Structure 1
Amino acid sequence: MGKIFDPVFMIHSFPEVLQALPTTLFIAFMSAVIGLVIAFIVSFIRYANIRILSPLAKVYISFIRGTPDLVQIMLVYYGIPLFLKAINAKFGTAFDVNGVPSIAFAIVALAINAGAYMSETMRSSLLAVDAGQLEACYSVNMTRLQALRRVIVPQAIGIAIPPLSNSLISLIKETSLVFTISIIDIMAQAKIVGSRSFRFFEIYVVVSIIYWVICAIVAFALSKVEVYARRYERKVDK
């Protein structure tokens, strides 16, 4: 009878699993950047209550919140090729449906998901800034855009960073789902390594440690960003 738990195998598995770390980090980084752009656009649409666009933004957020992440990945993975085929049939274009890499589908799906959650964080942060400051900006002849850019948004960013940090950490963990669309990320690499000896418990301990360390580093870095972003806030003596 073999060992119930093999720490030596676990230690030796780290280098092999870490080979897929760049793929995981790339997906997380690109999804975060695109997700933040989506979040900024959607949050301002809802904050300004733009007609037609604001209700559409609400539907988008509601759909993302109400469906599993894995389902969203599958919808993008199977939906984009159908969309490209429909464009080719309609307009006679020649988009290479099979030429789109799986990693692109993963980034799009995770960015759409993250954008919905982060947009609500940004909108609530904009609303948290005292409305009187906007009126004060108008009193010195600032336009709405100038007031947002110079006064409201800088304060909202400081408020938004802690919940945005949680969203970014969640995004990193959600990359563990992309192995379902044939991407060799940390999870997929772990399954490959674990299947050789059927030491799946040990290999998932390795995966847990890797994700934990990554998230801890990101959380630490974002805490420093928060301190920098809020450096001009008035300190209240205790």
Structure 2
Amino acid sequence: MGKIFDIKTVWTAIPQLLQYLPVTLEITVLSMVFGLILGLLLAIIKINRVPVLTQITTVIVSFVRGTPLIVQLYLSYTGIPLLLKYYNYEHGTNLNVNEVPALLFVLVTFAINEGAYNSENIRAALQSVNKGQIEAAQSLGMTYSQVLRQIILPEAFVVALPTLGNTLIGLLKGTSLAFVCAVVEMTAQAKIFAGVNYRYFEVYLALAIIYWGVTIIIEQLIHLIEKKIAIPENVKLRSRKAGDWL
């Protein structure tokens, strides 16, 4: 049995792979931050039905949601160098395509992907805010940007948090495709490490354990945040009554 399955390799592989966990977390956090910003912009454009931009946003979201993430990574990995070459040709510059960090391809792809998916979640959360509260705030002389910052976004965040938490976990697991763009994170390192000792099952089992552990930690953090920012039922009731009265 020891020749078929070697438990020692699992415990040996875990610290080896954990060395690349910071790369995985860096991709996850940065992509989520930029994805949230982009998702919010796309959601606001769609809610306000901005001419031209709404149509462009709809096409982008449809394309991203209708194509595999790995294909989007290939498009980024091959498309950004083409854009740089075109820029060099048009402006007479000499930007070196080879100096573009591989991490940039991954971050651009994941940020756009997250932005497209988050836009629909954020849009639904924004539209769930009681209109009576918005009208009451505007009647007090608050501008739209003030209402957005002080009323709409805080309440929408409470509604969107569970879905965004699931999206974050999906993003963490999706970073395993970063090796497509020559970024060495945990999954890429697992492939390298397994290719040395040929213990593929044991190494990938160690990788699965790490992803599982990190996912559990993220889930617990999300639950803690949900409890901390949860709106008390009595506040919800007063808010609902105020909206009905208006």
Q: TM-score range by the shorter chain?
A: over 0.9
- Equivalent residue, structure 2, for 1:114: 114
In the alignment, is residue 92 of structure 1 matched against residue 63 of structure 2? no
1:199 aligns with 2:199: yes
Q: Which position in structure 2 is the counterpart of 1:48? A: 48
Q: Which moved more, 1:221-230 or 1:105-114?
A: 221-230
The answer for unaligned runs of 5 or more in structure 2 is 238-246
User: Structure 1 residue 144 and structure 2 residue 144: aligned?
Assistant: yes
5 Å-filtered alignment, 1:21-100, equals 21-100=21-100
Kindly provide the amino acid, as one letter, of the partner of residue 137 in structure 2.
C
Distance 1:20 1:75 in 2: 25
Alignment of 1:202-213 (within 5 A): 202-213=202-213
In structure 2, the partner of 1:229 is 229
Partner amino acid for 1:11?
W
| Per-residue deviation, residues 201-237 of structure 1 (Å, max 9, x unmatched) | 1111111111111111112112222222225563689
The letter of the residue matching 2:3 is: K
Q: Secondary structure at the match of 2:28?
A: helix
**Residues 235, 209 of structure 1: CA spacing in aligned structure 2 closer, same or farther, 3 A cutoff?**
farther
Indicate the residue corresponding to 1:190 in structure 2. 190
Partner of 1:7: 7
**Cα distance, 1:141 vs. partner?**
2.8
How high is the TM-score relative to the length of structure 2? 0.90
Determine helix, strand or coil for the equivalent of 1:234.
Answer: helix
Distance 1:74 1:150 in 2: 40
Give 1:168's aligned residue.
Answer: 168
- When the two chains are superposed, the root-mean-square deviation of aligned CA atoms in Å is 1.8
Among all aligned residue pairs of Structure 1 and Structure 2, give the percentage whose two residues are the same amino acid: 41
- 8 A contact 1:157–1:229 mirrored in 2: no
Report the AA paired with residue 12 of structure 2: H
Unaligned runs of 5+ in 1: none
Q: SS of the residue aligned with 1:10?
A: helix
Within the alignment, does 1:19 sit opposite 2:19 as a pair? yes
Return the alpha-carbon distance in structure 2 between the equivalents of residues 59 and 80 of structure 1: 20
Matched residues in 2 for 1:144 and 1:2: separation? 67
Please tell me whether the aligned partners of residues 118 and 164 of structure 1 are also in contact (alpha carbons under 8 angstroms). yes
TM-score, reference length from structure 1: 0.93
Q: Secondary structure at the match of 1:3?
A: coil
C-alpha distance 235-202 of structure 1, shift in aligned 2 (>3 A): farther
Moved more, 155-164 or 216-225: 216-225
How many angstroms apart in 2 are the aligned matches of 1:129 and 1:188? 43
1:232/1:96 CA distance change after superposition, 3 Å: farther
Aligned letter for 1:93?
T
TM-superposition CA deviations, 1:105-132 (whole Å, max 9, x none)? 1111111111111111111000111222
Alignment partner of 2:183: what SS? coil
- Relative to 1, partners in 2 of residues 1:77 and 1:197: Cα closer, same or farther, differing over 3 Å? same
Query: Aligned pair count?
Result: 237
Q: Secondary structure at the match of 2:234?
A: coil
Tell whether the 8 Å contact from 1:88 to 1:94 is kept in structure 2 after alignment: yes
Q: In 1, Cα distance between the equivalents of 2:153 and 2:2? A: 60
Which is worse superposed, 92-101 or 205-214? 92-101
